[in-house]
Amino acid sequence: MTDTARVDQGRLLHFEKIPRVEEVEELQTSIEDQTAVELTEAPDEESDIADQYLAAYFQAKPTGFLIDAQTLLTTREQRDLEAFLNDHAEESSIDIYFYVFGADQRIPSDIRKKEVADQHYSVGKPAAVIYYYIGAPQRSALYLSPMITDRVSAAEQRRTLQFSVMQASSRTLYFDQIEAFLEQMSIRVYWMQRMTQGTAEKTLETIPDGESARTFPRRNTAPEIMPGIPSWMKRVGGIIVVSLCGLLLLWCVLAWLGSRRRFSFPEFEVESRLGGGHAAGIGAVISFSSQAITPEMQRNRMPDYMRRA
C-alpha cells in the first residue's frame, strides 16, 4: 500500500492508503467489458426514477454541487456533503457534481447520461459529474468535461472510479460509504487537475506523499432533537425560551436587591412642653418595626399613652 498524507503547519489533516496497481488487477479482470467510466452492478429489481424528479435532475445545470432531488439524504447529511463539495471547489480547478439516487433506482433509458453531462458541463469551469446510488457504490458512474477527457485517458478515468468504489465498499454504513467515495474522488480529481496542467505524472497509479485531499469534518452522531419540527420553528422556540429565562433571571435579581434595601428614619428632637416630653394623652406615635419594609406598609399606629410602661 502507498501512503498519502497531507500535513499543514505540523498537523496531519488526512491519511489515506492508496492500493497499488497489483491490488486492483483482480477488480479490473471482473470489469473488462464495462465502459471506461461506469461500474454497473444492477440490482435484481429496478424501478425508474419518477417523472416528477427528472426535470430537477437533468433539465438544467444545477446551482449547487449536490443534486438530491428526491431528498434521499437527511438535512444534516446534505449539509455535510455540500460543505465538502464547496470546499473542494474553492481549492480545485475541477468541480465535483454529485447526483444521488436510490440503490434500486434506474435512470430512464430515454435520458442519455453522457449527453446530459456534455450538454451542461462543456462550457465554463471543468467538472467531474458523478451518478451515485446510495448503498450501491459499485453502480456509480463518472463523466468528465470534454476538456478533461482530452488530457486524461479512458483507462485513468476508470482507475479513478475504481479506487473510489473500493474505498466506499470497505465501509458498512451508507453515509460512511459516501464519505469514503468522495474523499478518494477528491484526491483523484486533484491529480487530474495536475495532469491537465501538465504538472503530474502520466498515470494515476500512485499519488506522491503530500498531495492534498479534503476530508469530512467529524460528525456529531447524537440524535437530532425533534426531527419532525421545521428548523425555523426550533429557532423561534429557542428565542422564546431564552427570553423567558432572561426575564425570570431579571426578576430574581430585582427581588434579591429589594430584600437588601434598608430605610433610615430620622429622629426629630421636639422641645419640651411644660417640662414634659409630650403632652399627656395627646397625639400618637407611629412605630416602624422593621427597616426592611417600606413605611407605607407599616401602618400600625397607636397612641403613646396606650403603650405599657
Q: How confident is the model over 28-73, as pLDDT tens digits?
A: 444 334 443 555 455 557 788 999 999 999 988 999 999 999 999 9
Q: With respect to residue 232, please indicate whether it lies within any of the assigned structural domains.
A: no
CATH label of the domain that carries residue 143: 3.10.310.50
> Residue 267 has what DSSP assignment?
P
Q: Is the domain of 40 the same as that of 137?
A: yes
Q: Is the domain of 144 the same as that of 16?
A: yes
Q: Which three cell numbers stand for residue 109?
A: 433509458
Q: Is the domain of 11 the same as that of 93?
A: yes
Q: With respect to residue 122, please indicate whether it lies within any of the assigned structural domains.
A: yes
Q: Report how far residue 95's alpha carbon sits from residue 78's, in angstroms, rounded to the nearest whole number.
A: 17
Q: With respect to residue 84, please indicate whether it lies within any of the assigned structural domains.
A: yes
Q: Which three cell numbers stand for residue 283?
A: 397625639
Q: Is the domain of 191 the same as that of 274?
A: no
Q: Is the domain of 150 the same as that of 13?
A: yes
Q: With respect to residue 235, please indicate whether it lies within any of the assigned structural domains.
A: no
**Domain count of the chain?**
2
The pLDDT score that the predictor gives to residue 236 is 82
Query: What pTM value is reported for the model?
Result: 0.57
Residue that has been written with the C-alpha cell 420553528 in this structure:
233
Q: What is the CA radius of gyration of the chain?
A: 38
Task: Pick the last residue of a domain from 180, 196, 212.
Answer: 196
Q: Is the domain of 166 the same as that of 276?
A: no
Q: Is the domain of 69 the same as that of 165?
A: yes
Q: With respect to residue 52, please indicate whether it lies within any of the assigned structural domains.
A: yes
Domain residues for the domain of 297 are 260-309
Convert the pLDDT of each residue in 142-168 to its tens digit: 999 888 888 888 888 888 899 999 999
Task: Pick the last residue of a domain from 151, 181, 196.
Answer: 196
What single string gives the DSSP state of each residue in 200-230? S-S-SS---TT-----PPPP--SPPSSTTS-
Q: Is the domain of 190 the same as that of 264?
A: no
Alpha carbon of 247 to those of 35, 236, 243, 251, 261: distances in Å? 67, 17, 6, 6, 21
Q: With respect to residue 159, please indicate whether it lies within any of the assigned structural domains.
A: yes
Convert the pLDDT of each residue in 182-238 to its tens digit: 999 998 888 888 887 765 555 544 444 444 455 555 554 455 566 666 667 778 888
Q: Is the domain of 156 the same as that of 13?
A: yes
Task: Pick the last residue of a domain from 196, 228, 246.
Answer: 196
Can you tell me the mean pLDDT for 254-260?
Answer: 80
